[in-house]
Every structure is written in C-alpha cells, then in structure tokens.
Structure 1
Amino acid sequence: MRVVVTGAGGLLGKRIVQAFKDYEVVGVYHRSQPETSPFLVLDLSSLNLRPIEELSPDVIIHAAALTDVDKCEREPDLARLLNVDVTREIVKVSKRTNAFLVYISTDYVFDGTRGNYREEDETNPVNVYGLTKLEGEKLVRDVDSLVVRTSTPYGSNPASGKDNFALWLLKKLKAGERVNALVDQVTSPTLNTNFSLMLREAVDRRIKGVLHLAGRSQVSRYEFSLALARTFGLNETLINPAHFNEMKWFARRPMNSSLNVSKAMSLEHKPMSLQEALSELRREIEANDIVWK
C-alpha cells in the first residue's frame, strides 16, 4: 500500500511517516525535509498536484496547512490558498486515483464557549484559521475520507525549524527564565507520537467521517506547563499564570476548544492522559538527547 503524506516535515507529519514506515510511504514537503525515502519536493501553493497523482496513492494524508493563527488572520488570502484551495486540489487527486483521503483538522473549528466538543457538535470558528480549516473539512466530504481533528500538538521534534510549545517551555525553564502560561485557555494537548499511532490504526480500519484524535486530558496552558515542569524536574515557580485579556494576539482564540475523545477510546492505541504523554515525551527526549544540548 502506498501512503502519501503532505506536510511530512512538520510536527505531526514527521511522526505520521514513522507510523506508516512498514508501508510504502512518500513524504511531500516544501522546505522542511521529512524522514522518509523516497520523498517529493513540491510547492502545494502552485496548485499543480500532478506529481502526487502520478504516485497513484492508495491513501493520502493531508497534514499540510498554514497553522499560524495570527498569520492567517493578517493574510486571509494566503490562508485560503493553503488551507482551502490546496485541499480542493487534493480532493480532485483523491477522486482521480480512488485514494482514501485523511484530512488533518483542528479544534479551532469550534468557538470555545463550552469545550469537550464531540464530533457531531456544531462548528463555529472565531478566526480565519478555523474558518479555512472548516472549509477544508467540507470539501473532503465529497470523497472516501476521514476528517481527524486534534488539539495543541506537541512532541520531541521541532517543526519546520521551530520549537513546539513543550520544547520552547523546557528550554526556557532549563535556562531559568520566567514564562507566562494562560489559566483561562483550555485545550486537549496531544503528543504527536500518540496521535500518529491512533491515526495509523484509524487508517488501517478505514474509519470514515469525523474522529477526534487528541489527548485525553482537558487542561489549561498553565496546568500543562506545571505538569511539564514537574515531569522534567524543573522549577515550576518560574511559570506565571496569565489571562486571555493580557495577550496581544492579532486573532481571536477559542477559550475552551477541548475535544471529547470517547470514540477514539475504542482504538487499541488510546488517547493518552497528560501524565502518560509527558512521561513518553521525557523518554523520547532523553533517548535522543534533544533538549539539553
């Protein structure tokens, strides 16, 4: 079986290609090279996806997206190009090749007024990022597909040369620097390794429709930060509680976009609790000597 992964060099993409390593997996990237061979260098914004079509994939996992929330708000045309127009072309390729399409989406399709969102709950994005990802969700419904929503992904690998929140926080605390973490924004932090194994199982089982694959714990950024510090034996007093109204973000954020993962609990690789995931993160980091250099 041939699996094509777009965004294969990203935070989720790098772990996804590892999860499918016993298949013929082709990672598609533009700037950040994936850990696959073979791979395909392709600028998806050109909307010329014939090179993907020529691979005759059995499965397409579309993980590429513009995920910078403020950049999406400032440059809505770019967000629409990368998150909607590219997805439309991916759908066309899926139709022509009869490939099973997996679309990676986000908890930001919800407005965050209550949290613990189920797959069937009404969507109502509050920013351009969430709106364009929701439009992508609607496009993929026209083909044999699975929409996977996740929340606050993190892991032991940087994404496109940038540290994710967990790595950034660990380095700050290791250096003895103070950091701010929100007490009033709640999500479902998701370890990318756990996510990729759940995704692999969902693809193998050809689950269709919408599925929430995220961490089992629903916590604030502040709670997440404290747990991370404790897991790595770092000084948690360096973490300052902060609030939404203190942030100078350009785009609005949902306050509680946490995801209900009851359906995913039927998988063999179940959503991890926060402590389970952080223990795994520490194991990965210590095994690869990533943070402490």
Structure 2
Amino acid sequence: MRLRVLLTGAGGLLGKKISQIFSTSHEVIGVYNTSKPEGNYVMSDLSKLDNVRKIVSEIKPDVVIHAAALTNVDKCEEDKGLAKLLNVDVTREIAKSSNQHGSLLVYVSTDYVFDGVKGNYREEDEPNPINFYGLTKLQGEREVMENSSSFIIARTSTPYGSNPASEKDNFALWLIKKLKNNEKVNVVTDQITSPTLNTSFALMLKELIESYKRYNFIIHLTDASQVSRYEFSVKLAEVFESNKELITPTTMSEIKWKAKRPKNSSLNVEKANNVLKVNRPLNLIEALKILKSEIIDLNV
C-alpha cells in the first residue's frame, strides 16, 4: 500500500536517507527549516507550534516520521530552553496533531536516554540520561506515549552516512577526509556505542512500517556492532585503505566537551533481528563497505 509520509528533519543526516529510501514506493513530503532536502518538501519553522498543527492538518499523512531535533549535545547543554522547545514541545505538538488525524507517529530517539553504565541496553531497560540532550529526547518519548494512540519509538545510535548532516560532516565523513589528507586525529577509546549507517536505519524503518501491524512500542534500530569510537575509526581506515596510524587513541576526559557522554550506550538489537525479515542490523564491516560504495564518486 502506498503511504503518504510526512517527514520532519528531511534535510538532515537521517532525514535525507529516509526520504530517498521511502520515496521508492511511498509519497514523501519533507519538512525542513535550514537544510534544504531533495524531492517534495515544504519549508517551515516547527518551533512555531502553530506551524506543526497546520502542516499535519493540510497534508493529512498516513505516517509522520519525526526525525527533526536539536542533536548537538553540547548546544543542548548550553541552551536548555531551545533544546526543550525543539525536542520536547515540538514533539508534543506533533504527537497531538498526528493523533488527531489518525496518523502513525514514528519518533526517532537516541541511545543517549541511557546513562552508559552497563551498555547493551534493551528496550525494557530503565532510561537514565546524564546530559540534557538525552533528557529532552526521553521527555520526547514520553510525550509520544502520552499523546499518540499509534506510535513507534525508534532509538538509534551514532548515525553516519555518505551525506553530511545539514552543513556539517558526520563523524565518518569527517574522518575519511582527515585520513585522505594525511592529517592526524585523536579519537576516544572509552566511549562505546552502536554506530549505525543511515541507509541501514532507513531500510529497517521502512520494512518495519510496511510489515509490522502492531504498533505502540519501542525498538532499537541500530547496526549490530558495539564498538568504541577508536575501534570504529580503525575499521573505517582499513575498509577505506587509509593509514590507520594517523588515528591516535585518547579518552573522553581529554576532550573538552561541555556535556557528559555515556561511556557505553550501546543498544541491544535482538528485538529488531526477531521482527525484521529482510533488512536486519548490519555488522560494522558490512556497513562500512556499503558506505564506501555510496561515496565512491564523492570528492572527499
């Protein structure tokens, strides 16, 4: 069945790939503010909450994928009012408007809802964010559960891909360019996540929406590997045939971040492996090989 999909954050790292993947079989209307996406889109400032209600009312989507957020972790710590507005208040209005029009709401959340003490978090584990970004995303999850009668909360982790996130390179693209230019980089060894290729995330999400009929649940949609930033960087260098000796191990205490980062926020993907039949979580080498194939013509 062809669905009408309203996608917020359509110009972002995840949004651009979701739009590309979903547009192969569904009608996608992307919403953006500053980073212009491709395809069918509308420009709107969702921080003006009346715009949220207006867009959902006019488009009448079957599915709303809410991928827009303030994801800059340090910016959230610096400007808590803005973070609350964009990550909580906007989400509340989207949940209410989606519910009013009978739309399935897909809320893109994060591994940062966890404190990082144990890692390999399951969907049922108790969230306990240690920075304001994680707190606002958790509050967004709760707004979705309280205000929508048909929802999926899809948590992901450390997304990367062949397209920049707005005007800024994601970690993988940044690293590829640095290594190509023979520049040394410092990468932390003591932060473990589940790095997720945006293509993989979009394919898993598309299959989930198309094939899974019972909604109102949380699912971890990440790739399968649980690695440190340093391990990720070394594997990327190997796949891209770059000089991994340029990568210097360091620790989070040596990086001047304003917000705390969880030490091990990796996500368990057993549920995704059980639910999905075709597009399951990838291991790191599989994902990096796909990334390489996607940017083979990219001048990085």
| TM bucket normalised to smaller | over 0.9
Q: List aligned pairs for 1:255-266, cutoff 5 A.
A: 255-266=263-274
Q: SS state of the match for residue 25, structure 1?
A: strand
Gaps of 5+ in 2: none
Q: SS state of the match for residue 54, structure 1?
A: helix
Q: Deviations over 1:126-172 (max 9, x none)?
A: 00000000000011113210000000000000111110000000000
TM-score normalised over the length of structure 1: 0.97
Residue 23 (structure 1) aligned with residue 26 (structure 2): yes
Identical counterparts, % of pairs: 59
8 Å contact kept, 1:73–1:251: yes
Match of 1:46 in 2: 48
What code does the residue aligned with 2:288 have? L
Q: Deviations over 1:19-77 (max 9, x none)?
A: 2112111000011111222x111101111211232100110000000000000000000
Q: Deviations over 1:198-251 (max 9, x none)?
A: 000111124530000001000000000000000001000000000111111100
Match of 2:240 in 1: 232
Q: List aligned pairs for 1:67-78, cutoff 5 A.
A: 67-78=71-82
What code does the residue aligned with 2:137 have? K
Match of 1:215 in 2: 223
Residue 276 (structure 1) aligned with residue 286 (structure 2): yes
Aligned-partner Cα distance in 2 for 1:207–1:243 = 42
Q: How many residues align?
A: 289
8 Å contact kept, 1:199–1:213: yes
Aligned-partner Cα distance in 2 for 1:134–1:149 = 10
8 Å contact kept, 1:146–1:207: no
Q: List aligned pairs for 1:114-125, cutoff 5 A.
A: 114-125=118-129
Deviation for aligned residue 1:95: 1.5
Q: List aligned pairs for 1:77-92, cutoff 5 A.
A: 77-92=81-96
Q: Residues 6 and 167 (structure 1 numbering): CA distance in 2 closer, same or farther, change over 3 Å?
A: same
Match of 2:11 in 1: 9
Deviation for aligned residue 1:100: 0.2
Aligned-partner Cα distance in 2 for 1:218–1:29 = 32
Residue 190 (structure 1) aligned with residue 189 (structure 2): no
What code does the residue aligned with 1:115 have? G
Match of 2:39 in 1: 36
What code does the residue aligned with 1:28 have? V
What code does the residue aligned with 1:123 have? P
Q: SS state of the match for residue 123, structure 1?
A: coil
Equivalent in 100, 113, 117 of residue 117 of structure 2: 113
Aligned-partner Cα distance in 2 for 1:242–1:207 = 44
Aligned-partner Cα distance in 1 for 2:57–2:166 = 25
Q: Deviations over 1:249-286 (max 9, x none)?
A: 10001000000001111312000000000000001011
